[in-house]
Structures are given as structure tokens and as C-alpha cells.
Amino acid sequence: MIKRFLKPKIVITAGDPSGIGLEVVVKALADKKISSLACYTVITDKTCLNRANLDKNINIIDIDLLKSPPQFGIYNKQSAEASFMYIKKACELIKSKQADCLVTAPVNKEAINRCGITFHGHTEYLASFFNVKNYLMMLVNDNLRVSVVTRHIPLREVSKTLDIKNISETIKLTLKGLKDYFGISNPKVAVSGLNPHAAEGNSFGKEEIAKIIPAIRKLKSKNISGPYPADSLFYKKDFDAFVAMYHDQGLIPIKQNNFFNCVNLTIGLPFVRTSPGHGTAYEIAGKSIADCTSMKQAIILAVKAHKKRCLKKLA
């Protein structure tokens, strides 16, 4: 039983066929150190497999949606539809207990939506599929862990979307994720302000006083600090994770810190889901120059997080 937990069954979606998704998956799994970590199933399409040399020991699920190889580097309706079907199939495998973890290669949200499929991102779709109401997106690299309160919404909507409840829930889920996925028994979290200099009282905005500070106080924990000005928050060394108020506030610092080691981790799902921290990279698709480091790190984190979760259940 424990051996099974330590070597999970991971399903990997190949992402947008017109992008670099399958390339980074193949490159990552060609590394014996990576391929030995888990039992893998890759969801893709046979027309894509003609140009990808996956190890014969890796299970392949052929969606068989593409009738011809897609053109690299451009929007393609069939590619977008295929990328969505890969995700849907992976969810079915997870739900039927045929896989323990999910690692997703990048898709193009705009392309999927142009097909008439409402899709705000992997995080939101997975939460909806598994009927999870409280969840969050955490970005992780060797040096930082960053959660965000709001995700894929226009910047102009951030302030009105923030409230005491979603800020406090994000902080709570961040603490839970640090315990469950990383084995940190007494985690410390720093929370960002929204406005410049965290508003300096209410000089530059009222969100800190009206929403962020009450959310922190609501949790009544000495391990939660803030709000801190975002321009200096990520230099602080005494915290296990940071909570940012919106997407770019959190993702820019961590991607600038170490882009190719950056991994997206969804916290709150009934299974471990990770993905590389980059996009479809249409501009280099098909050129065999894509860096697979982030995909490798996504797989490694999925394995480690699954192990932590299983060991916690056994404790």
C-alpha cells in the first residue's frame, strides 16, 4: 500500500497540439530520473504521436480527434478542441480512480473559448468538474511559493472582487496546502497589500483597512502577517509562502525569480494537480528548442506532494 503511494499513477495532458506541450512532455519523460518516479499515462492524439517518440512503457490514450497534424505556432480550432478534450478525459480518469495525480501541459484559453467552450483556465475547470468551491492557484519554484486571491479576471475588477471572505479563505488554503503538500507543520504566511505602499493607512486606497486587515485578523493567527507593500514583500525570508491579491502581482515576481523552475499547483482539489508555469509558446513550437525544465519540476512536485498527502493520511 505504501509503495503505491510513493510511486503514483500520473496522467499528463499534452496541451495545445499547435504549441510546445507535447514536446516538453516527451523531453521530460525521456529523462530516466523523471520516468522512474511514477507510472505515466499521456493523453494526446495519434497524429501528434507520429512526431513524438514517447517511451514504449508509457501508456498512451489517443483521443483521435485530429485528422491531420496541426500546424505549429498558430491558432487552430481543432487543436484547441483537442486540448480541451485531453483535460476532460484526464478528469474522467481521476474521477474513476485510474490516476492519482494530474500534470497539465499548457493550453490557449482564448483559442478554447473561440471554439464556443467556456474556459477560464485549468484551475477553474477542474474545480467545477470536481465540484470544489474553495480552491486556489499557488505558484512554486525553488525559492518562493505564491498564492493569489483573484486569478483570471480583468485588473479593473480586482478591487471589487476582493472581500474579507475570499482573502481569508485564500490564506487558510495556503496554510493547509503548506501542511498537506509540503509537510510544513507550522507554516508562516505573509500577505500583500493591494495599493502602493499597502496604502499607507488609507492614503492611496481603502482596501487594506476595509478588507485585507480584517481578513487577517479574522483568522487570529500569529503566523499570518501583513499587509505588506507588494514591491518589497517577496524579498522577505522568514515566510513559507506569500499571498498576493491578484494574478500579476504574484506571478511576475516568482517568474522573474526563476522562470523555468516555476510550477503551478492547484490547492483544494481531491488530488494533486500541477503544471509548468509557462504557456503554449507558439513562437517556438515545432522547432525542438523548448525547455522542459518546468515540466520536469511539475512532475517532481506532483510526486512529492502526493507522497506528503498519502503519508499524512497514514499518520
- Which one is predicted more confidently, 111 or 69? 111
CA distances from 60 to 11, 40, 70, 286 (A): 10, 9, 19, 21
Same domain membership, residue 82 and residue 67: yes
Asked if residues 255 and 233 have their Cβ atoms less than 8 Å apart, the reply is no
Do residues 105 and 224 share a domain? no
Could you tell me if 25 and 38 lie in one domain? yes
Q: 190 near 239, Cβ under 8 Å?
A: yes
- Take residue 95 and report the three cell numbers written for it: 474521477
Q: Are residues 69 and 217 in the same domain?
A: no
Of the three residues 260, 286, 307, the one that is the final residue of a domain is 260
What's the structural domain count of the chain? 2
Give CA separation, 110 vs 93, 130, 270, 313, in Å: 26, 23, 27, 39
For the chain, the average pLDDT equals 92
Lowest mean pLDDT across 108-112, 120-124, 199-203, 257-261: 199-203
- Measured at the CA of 268, the angle between CA 243 and CA 136, to 5 degrees, comes to 35
* Residue 238 backbone dihedrals phi, psi, to 5 degrees: -95, 15
Query: Letter for the amino acid at 148?
Result: V
Domain that holds residue 207: 134-260
pLDDT of residue 313: 72
Q: What is the band of 3 on the pLDDT scale with cuts at 50, 70, 90?
A: very low
88: domain CATH number?
A: 3.40.718.10
pLDDT tens digits for 263-282? Answer: 999 999 999 999 999 999 99
- 151 and 234: one domain? yes
Beta strand 9-13 pairing with 272-276:
unpaired
Higher-confidence position of 315 and 7: 7
d(CA 155, CA 153): 6
- The answer on 141 and 233 residing in a single domain is yes
The reported pLDDT for the residue numbered 5 is: 52
Name the pTM for this structure. 0.92
Q: What is the mean pLDDT of residues 37-41?
A: 95
Cα distances from 114 to residues 68, 75, 117, 125, in angstroms, run: 20, 10, 7, 16
